[in-house]
Amino acid sequence: MTSLPSASRATAGETLSAWLQTAFEKAFGEAARGTCLRVQPATDPAFGDFQCNDAMALAKTLRLPPRTIAARIVEALETTDAPATAAVAGPGFINLAVSPAWLAGQLAALSADPRLGLPDSGRGRTIIIDYSSPNVAKPMHIGHIRSTIIGNALHRLYQALGFTVVADNHLGDWGTQFGILILGFRTFADPGRLRDAPIEELERVYKESYARTTEDPAWLDACRAELVKLQQGDPENRALWRQFIDLSLREFSRIYDRLGVAFDLYRGESYYNDQLAATVALLEARGLARESEGALVVPLEDEGMPVCIVRKSDGGFNYATTDIA
């Protein structure tokens, strides 16, 4: 019985193509070398399930009428446990009707296959997918949900193909906003609200603190100072920052659980913090960075771009530094 290879299960079209190809080579010998017959879905179900039109193009090469070529192929077909019945139609088309017995056998083989016929093309290979990436201390918005759904769909597809998939959630857990949030939290946080609706309270605190930075330069400077302390490892600021992350992950996990999504890594921007000073030092050592108005910058004028600040005048680092690291 003509069957599908188990290691890399062929489609019905591929199996029928191979069946016709064997008959073609049997009927025409050396003249068939270098030519592969193609099968495609029938244009009209009344003519069968699949069809092969290649006899038309072979007429010039074989110097025979297309219908004669098609008839000789059909006559040479192996009919024992054949996957289909074949008939010549019109000027040289080969119409194929899939055998119910063959189709039932393929379905039985698929049902017995633990992978249900899926190719195992990813075996021994690893792929990392970075998706979702919400911001700490803020509720997820539709963009994060979209990324989560698309990313997890890709995760499942690659996993089904045998890949080892590493799901990485690159959290927005570092940056200027945490200086604003830390100072705001110490000044404006309501313990009751924080207990009942932590993310909403952290967002409220951030908005109130941010609004003040636009009106009070001294407040903005104080926020920047808190950020530098955080980046330099101040224990109190690190403890608050860790609390913000824990509260946020608790809320994110509630949503992920509803969606059936899980991650292998939560490797946010803060993961690279310990590498930032060394990264800047490397840029300096290679002559790529220079001081400008107290900050350290990489000039990019030759590339038609503005300078890239890699260390601010207050000693703090920014997103560009994290990206480079």
Q: How far is CA 35 from the centre of its chain?
A: 38
**What pLDDT does 5 receive?**
42
pLDDT number for residue 261:
97
pLDDT tens sequence across 228-271: 899 889 999 999 999 999 999 999 999 999 999 999 999 888 88
Which tokens sit at 29? 């010998």
Q: What is the mean pLDDT of residues 111-127?
A: 90
Lowest mean pLDDT among 19-33, 76-90, 301-315: 301-315
Worst-scoring range by mean pLDDT, 8-22, 78-92, 231-245, 291-305? 8-22
Q: Of 4 and 195, which is predicted with more confidence?
A: 195
Architecture of domain 12-112: 2-Layer Sandwich (3.30)
* Tokens representing residue 280 in the block: 């800047």
Residue 39: pLDDT band by 50, 70, 90 thresholds? very high
Report pLDDT for 9. 58
Q: Report the distance separating Cα 316 and Cα 99, nearest Å.
A: 72
The pLDDT tens digits for 131-143 are 999 999 999 999 9
What are the residues whose beta carbons fall under 8 Å from the beta carbon of 88, sequence distance 6 or more?
A: 67, 70, 71, 74, 94, 95
Between CA 104 and CA 192 the distance in angstroms is: 65
pLDDT computed for residue 119 by the predictor: 85
Question: What pLDDT digit, counting tens, does each position of 160-219 carry?
Answer: 999 999 999 999 998 889 999 999 999 999 999 999 999 999 999 999 999 999 999 999
Per-residue confidence (pLDDT) for residue 1, from 0 to 100: 43
Cβ burial of 159 (10 Å; 0-12, 13-18, 19+) is middle
Any idea where the domains of the chain sit in the sequence? 12-112, 122-267, 273-325
Query: Is the predicted pLDDT of residue 7 greater than 50, yes or no?
Result: no
Nearest to 70 by CA among 49, 84, 56, 85: 56
Distances (CA, A) of 112 to 36, 109, 117, 122, 157: 31, 5, 9, 21, 21
Residue 72 has pLDDT above 50, yes or no: yes
Residue 4: pLDDT above 50? no
- Distance CA(276)–CA(285), nearest Å, equals 14
Q: Which fold has domain 122-267?
A: Rossmann fold (3.40.50)
User: Do 39 and 52 contact (CB within 8 A), yes or no?
Assistant: yes
Q: What is the pLDDT of residue 231?
A: 84
Question: CA–CA separation, 325 vs 165, rounded Å?
Answer: 24
